[in-house]
């Protein structure tokens, strides 16, 4: 049995590609493995939510309604999470909700009806880990190319394992497994929800490769286009 009752994901850089101050739902792109990670949490009977800083509202660059529309688009692509909570304030405001402070975690846990200590917070920067700690929750850092190396080193005991680009390419070539994260797809650790290995992602169609100098052709695998179910659940 998993020790958790809920998984709270960061949004930008963890579930979706980080588009600064994005207010356009059409620009939402899921990161590889994101929908699978959410589905894994649901399959284990865990509540799911998203907690994100959206200071673009406080800066006057986007509106709270823009954030909600982007969240709704991401929610549809991810198959539906139980709650979405965001902080609209700038860092200078000194609010209690902006990560690394615990407000978002506490609010999401209350909405889901679970204690913060039973929540696992998954994010890509130190603020996500520190917010979890401040709320008394558990944390998992999922590094991506934008994550500062010092943060990866600081939270090494709470980080999903990463691999070098070369070994990652070999690994993808052999297994084709998806991971949640950025361009290097670095969530190898979402199986820690229960210590389970992630489901294998099947290879798609075969296509003819470029011919070699000898004139022989090879067949190489490609990935299927990824689609997600549309289902909206829970409080906003």
Confidence at 171, pLDDT banded by 50, 70, 90: very low
pTM: 0.70
Task: Express as a percent the part of the chain with pLDDT over 90.
Answer: 64
Task: Express as a percent the part of the chain with pLDDT over 70.
Answer: 68
Confidence at 1, pLDDT banded by 50, 70, 90: low
Mean pLDDT (whole number) for 184-191: 43
User: For residue range 53-106, what is the model confidence (pLDDT) as tens digits?
Assistant: 999 999 999 999 999 999 999 999 999 999 999 999 999 999 999 999 999 999
158 against 230, higher pLDDT: 158
pLDDT for residue 160: 83
CB 7 within 8 A of CB 44: no
Q: Is the pLDDT of residue 166 over 50?
A: no
Confidence at 161, pLDDT banded by 50, 70, 90: confident
The catalytic site residues sit at 10, 12
User: For residue range 16-37, what is the model confidence (pLDDT) as tens digits?
Assistant: 999 999 999 999 999 999 999 9
CB 54 within 8 A of CB 63: no
Domains of the chain: 6-221 (3.40.50.1000)
């Amino acid at each position: 049995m998993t020790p958790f009752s809920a998984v709270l994901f960061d949004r930008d850089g963890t579930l979706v590609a980080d588009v600064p101050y994005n207010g356009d739902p059409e620009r939402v792109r899921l990161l590889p493995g994101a929908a699978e990670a959410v589905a894994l949490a649901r399959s284990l009977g865990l509540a799911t939510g998203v907690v994100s800083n959206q200071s673009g509202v406080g800066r006057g660059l986007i509106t709270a309604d823009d954030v909600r529309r982007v969240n709704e688009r991401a929610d549809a692509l991810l198959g539906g999470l139980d709650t979405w909570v965001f902080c609209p304030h700038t860092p200078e405001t000194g609010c209690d909700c902006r990560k690394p402070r615990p407000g978002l975690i506490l609010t999401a846990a209350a909405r889901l009806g679970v204690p913060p200590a039973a929540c696992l917070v998954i994010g890509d920067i130190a603020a996500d880990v520190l917010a979890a700690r401040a709320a008394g929750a558990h944390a998992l850092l999922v590094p991506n190319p934008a994550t500062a190396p010092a943060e990866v080193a600081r939270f090494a005991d709470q980080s999903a394992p990463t691999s070098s680009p070369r070994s990652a390419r070999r690994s993808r070539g052999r297994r084709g497994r998806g991971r949640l994260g950025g361009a290097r797809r670095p969530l190898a650790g979402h199986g820690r929800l229960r210590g389970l290995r992630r489901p294998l992602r099947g290879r798609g169609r075969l296509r003819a490769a470029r011919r070699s100098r000898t004139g022989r052709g090879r067949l190489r695998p490609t990935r299927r286009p990824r689609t997600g179910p549309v289902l909206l659940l829970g409080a906003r």
